[in-house]
Amino acid sequence: MLEVVIRVIDQVSEMYISTHLPKRPMILIALVSIASADFDSSEEQVHIPIIAETRQEPVAGASASDFEAANGIRFIQKAAAGGAGQSNAEGVFSYPDEFGNVIEVRYVANEFGFQPQGVHLPVAPPAPAHVAELLRIAEEQRAAGITFE
């Protein structure tokens, strides 16, 4: 599994270096791969081949990459130059967890940072009902010119 992690990092690094994209997605993929790997040194390491790979080399700031490993790890990304000088990327990566369930993370990386989404990611609990009422009151006070120091 470590060989796959290293190969994944190398391949994604090449793409990021050539397109100057933020490295957060690459780091996240590496951490997920490492976290799901079994590093029992008593077991023989098995080579897991990349079974599919396509790349669109950068043209005018736009690129794309897609690969899949034989163990179920998959990565798809499209990137383009952003309007404020940044690089924008969106994509999805997935991997099988220890129970065989496919974990999928969709993400956008742009001027607002890396924004992952997945059903397995934690979310904040909803705000209590009284918070909406307090926000409404505060807005009425601001509209009426009432300020507090």
Q: How confident is the model at residue 20 (pLDDT cuts 50, 70, 90)?
A: very low
Average per-residue pLDDT for the chain: 81
Has this prediction a pTM greater than 0.75? no
**In the 8-state DSSP scheme, what is residue 124?**
P
Structure tokens at 106: 């969709």
User: Quick check: 63 pLDDT over 70?
Assistant: yes
Please write the tens of the pLDDT for every residue from 119-146: 989 888 998 989 999 999 999 999 999 9
Q: How confident is the model at residue 21 (pLDDT cuts 50, 70, 90)?
A: very low
pLDDT confidence of residue 112? 87
Please write the tens of the pLDDT for every residue from 82-123: 888 888 999 999 999 999 999 999 999 998 889 999 998 988
**In the 8-state DSSP scheme, what is residue 20?**
T
Please write the tens of the pLDDT for every residue from 33-45: 666 665 566 677 8
Higher-pLDDT residue of 29 and 77 is 77
Distance in angstroms (rounded) separating the CA atoms of residues 78 and 45:
32
Q: How confident is the model at residue 26 (pLDDT cuts 50, 70, 90)?
A: low
Whose CA is closest to 32, among 91, 129, 109, 105?
105
**In the 8-state DSSP scheme, what is residue 60?**
T
Q: How far is CA 107 from CA 19, 80, 104, 136, 140, in A?
A: 17, 14, 10, 33, 37
User: Quick check: 48 pLDDT over 80?
Assistant: yes
